[in-house]
């Protein structure tokens, strides 16, 4: 595993996030930051910088469905504190050396897989 981080396809990111953008007037000139709101009112801040899609302050609710869709379609991973990545199995070869040891691989990132990993990390 000696993959290199890859920049997310901005067109894919934009296609997923733009229907949920809650504060387009706050977007930066390069559209790297946005605030999204799911249909149930839950929100999160999303920032795309270099090879990272950062999600800050995600609220409980349907906003997680948007985050999961983004991770799946952009071949990303979700980092669960204290440091485990939830990744699709088909991205294993793309990971930088050593990251595989800190990752849980699933066929597809789902809400259930995310819940299992979060519950497991709370037990430690």
Residue ranges of E strands in the chain: 33-37, 43-49, 52-56, 77-80, 84-88, 103-106
- What are the pLDDT digits (tens) for 67-118? 999 999 988 888 887 888 899 999 888 888 888 898 999 999 999 998 888 8
pTM of the model: 0.82
Measuring CA to CA, which residue among 47, 112, 40, 114 is closest to residue 77? 114
Q: Could you state, in order of their start, the residue ranges of all structural domains in the chain?
A: 7-74, 76-124
Tokens, residue 61: 């609710």
């Amino acid at each position: 595993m000696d993959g290199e981080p890859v920049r997310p396809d901005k067109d894919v990111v934009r296609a997923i996030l733009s229907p949920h953008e809650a504060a387009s007037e706050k977007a930066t000139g390069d559209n790297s930051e946005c605030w999204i709101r799911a249909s149930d009112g839950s929100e999160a801040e999303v920032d795309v910088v270099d090879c990272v899609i950062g999600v800050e302050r995600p609220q409980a609710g349907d906003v997680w469905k948007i985050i999961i869709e983004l991770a799946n379609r952009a071949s990303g991973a979700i980092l669960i504190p204290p440091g485990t990545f939830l990744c699709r199995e088909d991205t294993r070869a793309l990971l930088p050396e050593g990251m595989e040891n800190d990752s849980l691989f699933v066929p597809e990132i789902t809400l259930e897989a995310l819940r299992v990993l979060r519950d497991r990390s709370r037990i430690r």
